[in-house]
């Protein structure tokens, strides 16, 4: 079954009527003729824009906003993507004129406040990482990975070691890990996890060699399990001549409790937008600062933010002869850095530790409640506590009634809940990866679990109810593979399809 709801809504372009206006133009004595735009740059035709009155514009944007789901709408248990508590004051701070309206080409004397904030944030991040050098430039976690691996490559090449072309990573690793590995020109050597969902040390020993450039891992890993053999792992990797990369996307489980530098890591990236405030998701701007050890510092991207104590002066240093270059425009996403800095300052050392404890507590609470539901089970060693997230396997339910993780996600959406991450990590077939925001309260988690249980009960009465979900949403069950192969990204594409009579799309009869 497939519903047309969203396609019945007229698009904003179709709503318009020539001559409708939402504003009264200001009276001005500047005539367009006074503006000296070269003829070659002037439009030949008026832009194709909808003409609407104010009410229509308001309804359009309100409707779009209502179709959105965010951490301010309700529980957001999306594993790995960690929806943080985003204090609203940080949003206000990031819009403060002194920061938001600075220009990246302003002389450094005029942006001392911004540079001081960046410098102090670097200091805090290096302290938490246990790694002394930092660049705030990468604009996302994946970009941080790309940068960190770039440092590893530059390090080996600087030593004349050009044969190290392999990065080893566990089969539980996040999809961006192999992607950034390949983008750095490395081969991926994937090793299997053991029965506890941790790195298999024998497999690691067999995988490393004189070809190993590094080992990339997140700890706790994507199953939410802490790699308790991490010191031994570091030893094995370092003995082979490789370096250890820490994917800090799961840092929210360990802030102020354990430091990656002390576990033996040489380089890490943070996901500021996951661990230190900033609304995450929807592809908005992020920040993936990289911290590294002494031996990698000379390869950091330029510019680095430095401080000259004698002159009490902050400046940008482009003078790193061995730098890997730039990885983002200017100095990175400073608005995201500011949110992270404000978050760290507001919480302080104790508050940050408490945040992690809280993240671990809510993840373990939801885990025990969800695994108790008939048809769901916790994969890998049940006795190992999880950290910030847990991975529940819906395979038993799939075998019992043919209802899997994707169906469960869609049923939850019908009930106005955000779904957990599904079908990831790949080593759990019917994975539901659940990670509540650390400040989610018990009542809200209990209600989420109750809804989950009720929906599974409904599916037991009628599995097709699950297969046809979601209900009451602007888009029904879509055919994911059709959508991937037929990307429709613009109004023009829809218009073309409409002209050809191919819109709305027809799904195959048997799709689910
Ligand atoms: C474990 C892990 N590593 C890396 C990333 C990539 O981060 P980003 O989405 O900021 O690129 C994520 C993202 O969710 C993640 O969960």
Model confidence at 6: pLDDT above 70: no
Question: Angle of helix 334-371 relative to helix 112-129, nearest 10 degrees?
Answer: 30
In the CATH hierarchy, which top-level class contains the domain 358-468?
A: alpha beta
H-only helix segments in 130-200? 141-158, 176-183
If you measure from the C-alpha of residue 428 to the centroid of ligand 1, how many angstroms do you get, rounded to a whole number? Answer: 19
What pLDDT score does 48 carry?
83
For residue 75, pLDDT beyond 50: yes
CA 111 to chain centre: 29
CA of 248 to the centre of ligand 1 (A): 9
Q: Region 104-118: what's the mean pLDDT?
A: 95
Confidence check: pLDDT of 162 > 60: yes
Q: What is the mean pLDDT of the chain?
A: 92
Is the CB–ligand 1 distance for residue 80 below 6 Å? yes
Which has more confidence, 190 or 500?
Answer: 190
Alpha helix (H) residue ranges in 372-479: 395-401, 405-414, 442-461, 463-468
Q: What are the boundaries of each domain within the chain?
A: 5-67, 89-346, 358-468, 481-512
Per mean pLDDT, which range of 96-110, 188-202, 291-305 is the poorest? 96-110
Q: Are 436 and 445 in contact (CB under 8 A)?
A: yes
Model pLDDT, residue 283: 62
Q: Does 81 contact ligand 1 (Cβ within 6 A)? A: yes
Q: Is 376 in the pocket of ligand 1 (CB under 6 A)?
A: no
pLDDT computed for residue 510 by the predictor: 47
Asked whether the predicted pLDDT for residue 3 surpasses 50, the reply is: no
Residue 205 pLDDT level (bands cut at 50, 70, 90): very high
More confident site: 104 or 308? 308
pLDDT band, very low/low/confident/very high, at 435 (cuts 50, 70, 90): very high
Query: DSSP letter at 10?
Result: P
pLDDT digits (tens, 9 = 90+) for 447-477: 999 999 999 999 999 999 999 999 888 778 8
Percent pLDDT > 90 in the chain is 75
CATH number 3.40.640.10 given to 89-346: yes
Task: Identify the helix (H) or strand (E) that includes residue 336.
Answer: helix 334-371
pLDDT (0 to 100) of residue 464: 96
* Residue pair 459/411 in contact by the 8 Å Cβ criterion: yes
pLDDT for 404 equals: 98
Of 97-106, 275-284, 295-304, 410-419, give the lowest mean pLDDT range.
275-284
Looking from the CA of residue 142, the nearest atom of ligand 1 is 11
The pLDDT score that the predictor gives to residue 416 is 93
Report the pLDDT value the prediction gives residue 233, as an integer from 0 to 100: 98
Tokens of 268: 């890490």
300: three-class secondary structure by DSSP: coil
Same topology, domains 89-346 and 358-468? Answer is: no
| Alpha-carbon gap, residue 435 to 274, rounded angstroms | 12
**Rounded Cα gap, residues 138 and 288, in angstroms:** 5
pLDDT class of 109 with cuts at 50, 70, 90: very high
Determine if ligand 1 sits within 6 Å of the CB of residue 435: no
For the cut 80, the answer to whether the pLDDT of residue 11 exceeds it is: no
pLDDT for 4: 42
| Among the listed residues 57, 68, 45, the one whose alpha carbon sits nearest the alpha carbon of residue 15 | 57
Cis peptide before 303 (omega within 30 of 0): yes
Which residue lies with its CA nearest to atom 12 of ligand 1?
Answer: 249
**Is the separation of the CB atoms in 272 and 157 below 8 Å?**
no
Q: Residue 5: what pLDDT?
A: 47
Mean pLDDT of 48-60: 90
pTM for the full predicted model: 0.90
**Would you give the DSSP letter of residue 168?**
E
Question: CB of 247 closer than 6 A to ligand 1?
Answer: yes
pLDDT in tens, 226-249: 999 999 999 999 999 999 999 999
Given a cut of 90, whether residue 112 has pLDDT beyond it is yes
- Across the range 19-25, mean pLDDT stands at 86
- For ligand 1, the distance from its centroid to the CA atom of residue 473, given in whole angstroms, is 28
For 32, 34, 44, 230, 245, the CA distances from 40, given in Å and listed in that order, are 16, 16, 9, 63, 52
Cα–Cα–Cα angle for 76, 77, 80, rounded to 5 degrees:
115
Its sign, for the CA torsion 404, 407, 413, 418, is positive
From the CB of 173, is ligand 1 less than 6 Å away?
Answer: no
**Angstrom distance (rounded) from CA 497 to CA 501:** 6
């Amino acid at each position: 079954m497939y519903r047309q709801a969203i396609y019945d809504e007229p698009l904003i372009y179709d709503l318009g009527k020539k001559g409708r206006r939402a504003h009264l133009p200001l009276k001005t004595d500047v005539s367009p003729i006074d503006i000296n735009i070269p003829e070659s740059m002037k439009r030949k035709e008026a832009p194709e824009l909808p003409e609407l009155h104010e009410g229509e514009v308001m309804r359009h944007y309100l409707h779009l906003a209502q179709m959105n789901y965010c951490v301010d709408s309700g529980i957001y248990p999306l594993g790995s993507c960690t929806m943080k508590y985003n204090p609203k004051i940080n949003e206000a701070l990031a819009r403060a004129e002194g920061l938001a309206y600075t220009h990246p080409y302003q002389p450094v004397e005029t942006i001392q406040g911004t540079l001081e904030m960046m410098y102090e944030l670097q200091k805090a991040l290096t302290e938490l990482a246990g790694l002394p050098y930092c660049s705030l430039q990468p604009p996302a976690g994946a970009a941080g990975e790309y940068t960190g691996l770039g440092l590893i490559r530059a390090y080996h090449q600087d030593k004349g070691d050009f044969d190290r072309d392999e990065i080893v990573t566990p089969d539980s690793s996040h999809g961006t890990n192999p992607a950034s590995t390949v983008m750095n020109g490395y081969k991926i050597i994937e090793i299997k996890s053991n029965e506890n969902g941790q790195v298999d040390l024998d497999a690691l020993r067999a995988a490393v060699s004189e070809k190993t450039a590094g080992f990339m891992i997140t700890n706790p890993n994507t199953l939410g399990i802490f790699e308790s053999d991490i010191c031994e792992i570091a030893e094995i990797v370092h003995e082979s001549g490789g370096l250890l990369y820490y994917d800090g996307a799961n840092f929210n489980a360990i802030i102020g409790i354990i430091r990656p530098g002390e576990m033996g890591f040489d380089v890490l990236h943070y996901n500021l937008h996951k661990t230190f405030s900033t609304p995450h998701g929807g592809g908005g701007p992020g920040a993936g600062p990289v911290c590294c050890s002494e031996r990698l510092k000379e390869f950091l991207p330029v510019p680095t933010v430095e401080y000259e104590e004698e002159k009490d002066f902050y400046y940008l240093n482009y003078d790193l002869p061995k730098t890997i270059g730039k990885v983002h425009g200017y100095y990175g996403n400073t608005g995201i850095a500011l949110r992270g800095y404000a978050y760290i300052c507001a919480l302080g050392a104790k508050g940050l530790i408490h945040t992690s404890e809280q993240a671990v507590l809510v993840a373990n609470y939801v885990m025990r409640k969800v695994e108790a539901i008939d048809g769901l089970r916790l994969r890998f060693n049940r006795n190992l506590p999880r950290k910030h997230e847990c991975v529940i396997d819906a395979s038993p339910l799939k075998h019992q009634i043919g209802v899997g993780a994707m169906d469960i996600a869609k049923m939850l959406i019908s009930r106005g809940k955000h779904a957990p991450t599904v079908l990831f990590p790949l080593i759990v077939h019917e994975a539901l990866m659940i990670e509540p925001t650390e400040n989610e309260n018990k009542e809200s988690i209990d209600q989420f679990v109750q809804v989950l249980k009720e929906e599974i009960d409904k599916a037991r009465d009628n599995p097709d109810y699950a297969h046809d979900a979601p209900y009451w949403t602007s888009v029904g069950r879509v055919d994911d593979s059709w959508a991937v192969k037929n990307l429709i990204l613009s109004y023009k594409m829809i218009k073309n399809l409409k002209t050809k009579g191919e819109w709305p799309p027809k799904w195959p009869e048997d799709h689910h």
